Amino acid sequence: MTFYEDMSLYTYWDGGESFTDVTTGYRFLSFEPQYERVNVGWLSGDQPWASGVAPAGFIEKLEAVLAVQAVNQMMGLHDCELCPPSDKQPPESYEPRPGHRRSSVGTGEIRIPARPDTAFAAPVLVGHYVVDHGYLPPTTFIDAVLEFDPSGHGSAEYPWVRFPWIPEDAVHYDASVE
Ligand SMILES: [Zn+2]
């Protein structure tokens, strides 16, 4: 998987955001982000990463975000490079391995509002990295996750999407009109 250093600027996908709220079924809202994106958790097997114990409540909160958001989901599967090769499951499987709470493959990203006009951009695998590998993200990311309410309301234009920064001109892909 593509490696990006924590806190570097997001460049993975420059085609705008495609945002899905899994809980409401609102899928593929696409828009040009009006916020800057900062990478966290784009780990790779051959690059060092920080490990440590996350503060109380962080993992639960992160998993709550992962249960709601699916951003840029079309970008394909990411296989965990930190798991031993013998442990790998077929990439087409979405099931967590025995003893693991999250799947070791991911199909998208999440966004966490940070300071004004900046959102953290993390692959969905970040949950697996934290829970199963003891990855400790930067403190600013942890604080932002703890502060973010993924069950809260969205913007005025898209109150049903649980992310506050969906702009007015977002385009909703509606499969029923094809
Ligand atoms: Zn892994």
What tens digit of pLDDT does each residue of 139-158 get? 999 999 999 998 877 888 88
* Residue 2 belongs to some domain of the structure: no
Cα-to-centroid distance, 77 and ligand 1 (Å): 14
How many domains would you assign to the chain?
A: 1
**Residue ranges for the chain with pLDDT beneath 50:** 92, 178
pLDDT of residue 115: 86
Residue ranges in the chain assigned as alpha helix (H): 58-66, 126-133, 139-147
pLDDT of residue 49: 95
* Residue 95 belongs to some domain of the structure: yes
Q: Which of 41, 36, 37 is nearest to 5 (CA)?
A: 41
pLDDT of residue 119: 97
Task: Give the three-class secondary structure for 78.
Answer: strand
* Residue 108 belongs to some domain of the structure: yes
Cα-to-centroid distance, 97 and ligand 1 (Å): 10
**Domain assignment of residue 83, given as a range:** 17-170
* Residue 131 belongs to some domain of the structure: yes
pLDDT of residue 178: 47
Cα-to-centroid distance, 165 and ligand 1 (Å): 31
* Residue 175 belongs to some domain of the structure: no
* Residue 32 belongs to some domain of the structure: yes
